[in-house]
Structure 1
Amino acid sequence: MLNEALKGASYLDVFDHQVAKYPTANALTSKTLTYTYGEVARQAKSFALALKSHGIYPGDKVAVGISRNESLVPLLLAIWSLRAAYVPVDPAFPQQRQSCILENSRAKIAIFDHNKIVPKFGGSVVNLNELVARSSALTVSNNVSLASDTADKNDVAYIIYTSGSTGNPKGVAVSQANLLNFIESMAIEPGLANNDCLLAITTISFDIHVLEIFLPLFVGAHLILATREESISQSLLRELIDSRNITVMQATPATWRMILENGWRPKRKLKILIGGEIFPLDLKATLLRAAKEVWNMYGPTETTVWSTCFKLDSYKKVYLGRPIKNTRLYIVDEKLEPVSEKSSGELLIGGEGVALGYYNNDTLTDKMFITLKSGERVYRTGDLVKKGPDENIEYINRIDNQIKIRGFRIEPSEIEQVLAQHSLVQQSVVVASELSAGDVRLIAFYMGEPDKNTTLRDFCKQRLPEYMVPQHFIYVTLFPMTANFKIDRKALAREGVDRLGEAESIYVIDPRDDLDRSLMYVWASLLCINKISIDDNFFDLGGHSLLVLQAIKEMKVATGLDFPLSVFFESPTIRQIRCHIGKEERRASNVVKLNNARHGDPIFCMCGVQIYAELAECFQGLRPVYGIFASEEVTFLNAEANNQSIDFSFDALVESYKSALLRQGRPQALTLVGLSFGGFICLEVAKKLIAEGVVVHNTYLLDSYTDISIYRSCRGLAADAIKCISIEGPSEMFKRFLGKIRKFIYSQKPEIRKSAESAVNDQKERERAFDRAARVFMKENNTYAIDCVLIKATETYFGFGMRSYQDYRLTEYVKGKLRIHNIKADHIEMLDGKCVKNIYDIMQQYEPESAIKND
């Protein structure tokens, strides 16, 4: 609460009071330094003098497009001290949108970082470095005052531009009186004290930054300013919250979901403010566990940030809450008459938070800011609400088609008007579809001509900010209609979820190896797209900043590698990302989910990925099947191929496979399958998992043999010699072997054939490496009290005159039951066509019915 001496004072009057009261207290901390209250005031005064030398006077507009650093807050205060207004211009916006904002706001100057390209407009551009240098050269006394003696409460404080239904953004002009009422109310409820530490993470082009930046300085608290990189990184935000002893933080539901994922809690319980979009009920319990208080905040930009707040408590529902200080709410019908008690209607907001209007747009101002019969000026929110218990307002829906995604308010018609300018588009409809909790996608359906590449996306990117560019463009021949013959947007939103998978890559580039396959699977799953390429741009495929964090997490689960957030934004294709991580990719343990089954006990296939693709198809809809090719195996295969000597550790290899398997979650029960040497990996992994309480239904050894599995037969020697010399000739023996490999390759689907061809050249090295690994396995002399199924290839060629023992002498290792089945095939053909069906049928004899849970 303000003391009597400050009643009627301006925001800067109160800030000056805090500077005089706490001159050496920490006011602002950025990534690089900390300012005290006195230092913030002096820096702001220096900036004000420098701005004045650029001709800034009362009523002028100053566009601000700088990064989130220590200069940002003093600069905004400096603008106010000159009775001017700031206009946020996000440097990430397309040039056309920046130009529209600069021209519409009639900005006198625009302040940008030194390396930014600024579109031409009627004012002048000032480089931040130049402004800092000029201000540093000025002498400012220790006892500075920022408040102006001639300040007027109707001075414009800032102009925030939001999405507009006319095709251009609209600027909401907020006065100093609006600002002061809002800040005074927030200081009381939800409340902030001078011993609090608030973390600010929001861009200034989004109006909730007003609370984050100006509330702490109003009450004498400590403001921590996160960089853009920190504000979108889960790990960096968590580190900031704990290391800076944050007590209060405000964010959108999507950001809170990211921070508190997987049960993470801050060391110190927070006062949590959440708003900007509909409160997701599934997040309620998570927030309450991490907080001492949780407040749901609501309000449009036109009524100064937040107009209501609600403290979460025993109510099952989460309400918009009650009005803040000097704010009045009205629920009316289509004729603007009050609705009956508990009936729904449009929410109108009146009081001291109602903004001046849309800058330089009187027509729209008169439409949205109306005067009631009582003479009170109110804003029409377009939100359908009703009264709940204790006068709390309950949100129902939008009256119009407006969308909110990640806190940003979007008018679909603005995007539709941009698309209408392109020759491919006859008509378009833009909707939002929620794919999963927190993952809302913007989808543009259009009639006209199909876009076979990224033409429409590129067109929108040149004209709209990133958050307004649809993630997906879907061609239709007709739009669904309602009974009243209007386009059914709800039906399109439902249809969007089902049709995302139709999108395909514009590139025809096959995966180069299993690491590519692992990463491509992760992206395809997250983006709900069937086919992608290593050269596809993550964001062009529908990705967004919060989905990046999920992608990085899933990519680590799939490969065991860490992928830096900065690399993802700089190089958003799989090919580029792999170039950045360089030699680190040698540590990859690649895991690829080979079918789309979501339920049932998983099947893990060892020592390969694509070779198990046909087997995985057999379990489609029944059980998920994964292929694993682990890092230690990659290491010794590379060493063998390059004739390098390495110390091969069988235990390390097994641990690598087990780790890769468990990264997919810790299943209660599973099945293991391994071809060749992969079978021996299965034995050891099964032994370790069983010891940890995991149920291993069965372990399948597909033609797994070692040196002791075969013996030289005199009869076999003679038979082989006669056959090879008289029919084929000795030189044809090896060609026959490679011919079978090629036959296997060319039986595959066209999209994997090219990458599989390299197997012909690599097969000798691979088999030699596996033989070497198998010899190490034999020396371990391990035994396994495990029931196994050995599926033998009866046509496997072991060498001139060599034959195999019936059980491959595996009973010397396997002390449980060893069931043996034969398939007429050779080693290479085991996982091909009809043989795969035979293996599937054999597996079905032993797999329990409980392992299958149909999707």
Structure 2
Amino acid sequence: MSPRPRGLATRGTVADLIWQRADQAPDAVAVIDGTGATVTYRELTRRADTVAGELAAAGVAVDEVVGLCWPRSVDGLVQLLGVWRAGGAVLYLDPDWPVKRLQHMTATCAVRHVLTAVPGLDLPASVDAADLKHVPIGGPLCYVVFTSGSTGTPKGVLIEHPGVVAMATALADQFDVTPGTRVLQFAAWSWDAAMCEILMTLTAGATLVLAPAGARAGADLARVLRAQQVEVVTLTPSVLAAIPADDLPDLRTVVAVGEPVHPRLVERWAAPQRRMFNGYGPTEATVAVTVGELHPGHDVHIGTPLPGVIVRVVDEHGRPRPVGAAGEVLVGGLGVARGYAGSPAATAARFSTDEAGRRWYQTGDLAAWRPDDTLAFLGRTDDQIKLRGHRLALGEVEHILTAHPATHAAAVVAVANRLTAFVVADPDHTAGQSEAELAGVLRGHAAALLPPFAMPDIRVVPELPLTVGGKTDRGMLRGLAAADTEPGDGSLPAGGSLPIVLEVVAAVLDRPVQPATDVIDAGGHSLLVAQLCVALSEALGVEVPYITVAVGRTPAGIAAAIDDPSPARAAGSAA
């Protein structure tokens, strides 16, 4: 049965909604911690009021960014709510991240106050919070979350309360989260998916179940779901794939986010008494843009826009694309961020305002409208990937490695959810060092700047292989990286992918094909290309982007692009 919409909330702050729930049902359970202990709405908000009072006494004002460096816990949640209650905006500082990265984040956001449970954390306070000069677009600032940047500098996305409130209430409606519903909180707080879990739960008066510290995907997480009678989860497909789907009698809603969903995952998780959804949304559009329900035996899609969200699919000139035709996703509406903290140039490059005064975010994602008004996700237009739910630009990792004087050149590839960096040493700065010693030095350098999920394996090589055109041969590098992985974990087949591509294309087109058969001329269209991407990804164990099939066109061309997936090659072919 579809949930009954309760109307789109856009006014007030998330704190306003949570404190209203506390007034309505003060003794309701707000949080269950990792040990199974419960905290009521009365206790949670009372403790958060104390924190808010201390922040107000320290002069924290509306729109001021407050740092929060706390492990996932009830105490951390109290601090989080206290910042919002005081009118401030939250910048989460992951205790596991390098101090240099945290210092960059606090400096960028002009942070004067940091709430921390980490002793000895050295994060210099900003002298003047007015350094952050960003004009409100729709309301006060709610939080800042940093995303990867190809120049090596992470960017802080400024998210306002109206969009967050709209997102939280819309998702609660969609997933039927009501008072008493038990919702798992599993996402790392450094990832904005945690905001979905926390806020769609507490603004609805439901119960947030904090995953225990160190909880991992698999049987351990399944035991948590059973023991705490969790009803709603939001997890990446990688995590869902590792959890046994059976013997979870209370679980009624599964939401997949952050990575492409394969049809076999839908077959495992969608059941008569359990609904499965696919969610899509960039950080710059307040986490969630579209949501769609998935059913076994049907094509995977990312659904329709949430209330208050506008989605356009356009060509390179900004013109709308017809149904079935691929284009870039533009997002407008309540959730569009103010921009990037301290970076007007980066903001101007991605955010725009049309003649009607509506703001748009240019996502860099490719999609196509389907005949049923849902969207098919088709990949990226750049070198960004999703790694364990986090968006990462491979260029950021390369930039950080090449910034070290011991590095002459570097190239980073992703295979089977692992990053491998191939590094060429600068002989003027590495005299007398062994390859192992240099790799250790570079690991230390990268660890001081990159979050743990973005840390690559480092391999020192005499030189980077080149294609005939003189560009880095990333296909060969992926093959070298895949050779270090176990069979079936995402490595490319020995001898190239053409035999498998021929088999998959013939199966999807339902006709014999040759290496030179043009997929489009043979009856392919944008949605069929999307089906080919999914089928090829499953067969090869590596993600095959939409552009690989659309530009390659023939099995031989597609296979060549898969074996050499460098953006430069794709761009050259497209021209």
449, 452, 457: which one pairs with 1:463? Answer: 449
Aligned 1:341-356 pairs, distance under 5 A: 341-356=323-338
403, 413, 421: which one pairs with 1:431? Answer: 413
CA 421–4 in structure 1, closer or farther in 2 if over 3 Å, else same: closer
Larger deviation, residues 218-227 vs 173-182: 218-227
User: Between Structure 1 and Structure 2, how many residues are aligned?
Assistant: 471
Amino acid at match of 1:445: F
Is the contact between residue 110 and residue 123 of structure 1 (CA under 8 Å) also seen in structure 2? no
Corresponding residue for residue 480 of structure 1: 466
CA 234–58 in structure 1, closer or farther in 2 if over 3 Å, else same: same
Shift of 1:74: 2.3
Corresponding residue for residue 193 of structure 1: 178
17, 26, 33: which one pairs with 1:30? Answer: 33
In structure 1, how many angstroms separate the alpha carbons of the residues matched to 2:477 and 2:410? 11
In structure 2, how many angstroms separate the alpha carbons of the residues matched to 1:257 and 1:361? 38
Shift of 1:2: 8.3
Structure 2, unaligned runs of 5 or more: 129-135, 427-433, 492-575
220, 239, 244: which one pairs with 1:255? Answer: 239
Matched position secondary structure for 1:423: coil
Corresponding residue for residue 395 of structure 1: 377
Shift of 1:225: 1.3
In structure 2, how many angstroms separate the alpha carbons of the residues matched to 1:416 and 1:185? 39
Structure number with larger C-alpha Rg: 1
CA displacement, residues 542-583 of structure 1 (integer Å, 9 cap, x when unaligned): xxxxxxxxxxxxxxxxxxxxxxxxxxxxxxxxxxxxxxxxxx
Aligned 1:797-816 pairs, distance under 5 A: none
341, 364, 372: which one pairs with 1:359? Answer: 341
Matched position secondary structure for 2:320: coil
Is the contact between residue 430 and residue 445 of structure 1 (CA under 8 Å) also seen in structure 2? yes
Shift of 1:245: 0.8
Is the contact between residue 266 and residue 290 of structure 1 (CA under 8 Å) also seen in structure 2? no
Amino acid at match of 2:189: I
Is the contact between residue 27 and residue 37 of structure 1 (CA under 8 Å) also seen in structure 2? yes
Amino acid at match of 2:53: L
Aligned 1:276-287 pairs, distance under 5 A: 276-287=258-269
Matched position secondary structure for 1:80: helix
In structure 1, how many angstroms separate the alpha carbons of the residues matched to 2:475 and 2:319? 28
Corresponding residue for residue 226 of structure 2: 242
Is the contact between residue 331 and residue 344 of structure 1 (CA under 8 Å) also seen in structure 2? yes
Is the contact between residue 163 and residue 170 of structure 1 (CA under 8 Å) also seen in structure 2? yes
Question: Which structure would you say has the larger RCO, counting Cα contacts within 8 Å and 6 or more residues apart?
Answer: 2
In structure 2, how many angstroms separate the alpha carbons of the residues matched to 1:487 and 1:26? 56
Corresponding residue for residue 308 of structure 2: 326
Matched position secondary structure for 2:260: coil
Corresponding residue for residue 75 of structure 2: 71
Corresponding residue for residue 662 of structure 1: none
In structure 2, how many angstroms separate the alpha carbons of the residues matched to 1:113 and 1:369? 36
TM-score, normalised via structure 1 length: 0.52
Amino acid at match of 2:459: F
Larger relative helix fraction: 1
Shift of 1:445: 2.3
Amino acid at match of 2:301: Y
Is the contact between residue 109 and residue 123 of structure 1 (CA under 8 Å) also seen in structure 2? no
CA displacement, residues 183-208 of structure 1 (integer Å, 9 cap, x when unaligned): 12112213312231001011211000
Aligned 1:546-695 pairs, distance under 5 A: none
CA 73–270 in structure 1, closer or farther in 2 if over 3 Å, else same: same
Is the contact between residue 229 and residue 251 of structure 2 (CA under 8 Å) also seen in structure 1? no
Is the contact between residue 21 and residue 41 of structure 2 (CA under 8 Å) also seen in structure 1? yes
Corresponding residue for residue 583 of structure 1: none
Aligned Cα root-mean-square deviation (Å): 2.8
Matched position secondary structure for 2:372: helix
Amino acid at match of 2:146: Y
Corresponding residue for residue 90 of structure 2: 86
CA 157–6 in structure 1, closer or farther in 2 if over 3 Å, else same: closer
CA 478–152 in structure 1, closer or farther in 2 if over 3 Å, else same: closer
In structure 2, how many angstroms separate the alpha carbons of the residues matched to 1:206 and 1:316? 30
Is the contact between residue 91 and residue 116 of structure 1 (CA under 8 Å) also seen in structure 2? no
Corresponding residue for residue 611 of structure 1: none
1:404 aligns with 2:372: no
The 4+ residue runs of structure 1 with deviation greater than 4 A are 1-7, 523-528
CA 103–526 in structure 1, closer or farther in 2 if over 3 Å, else same: same
Aligned 1:655-804 pairs, distance under 5 A: none
CA displacement, residues 142-175 of structure 1 (integer Å, 9 cap, x when unaligned): xxxxxxxxx9951110000111122111100100
CA 5–320 in structure 1, closer or farther in 2 if over 3 Å, else same: closer
Give the share of equivalent positions with the same residue, in percent: 26
In structure 2, how many angstroms separate the alpha carbons of the residues matched to 1:43 and 1:253? 36
Structure 1, unaligned runs of 5 or more: 125-150, 435-439, 502-522, 529-855
Corresponding residue for residue 671 of structure 1: none
Shift of 1:7: 7.5
CA displacement, residues 571-614 of structure 1 (integer Å, 9 cap, x when unaligned): xxxxxxxxxxxxxxxxxxxxxxxxxxxxxxxxxxxxxxxxxxxx
Shift of 1:494: 4.0
Amino acid at match of 2:208: L
Aligned 1:196-345 pairs, distance under 5 A: 196-230=181-215, 232=216, 234-260=218-244, 264-289=246-271, 292-314=274-296, 316-345=298-327
Is the contact between residue 99 and residue 121 of structure 1 (CA under 8 Å) also seen in structure 2? no
Amino acid at match of 1:228: A
Is the contact between residue 424 and residue 451 of structure 1 (CA under 8 Å) also seen in structure 2? no
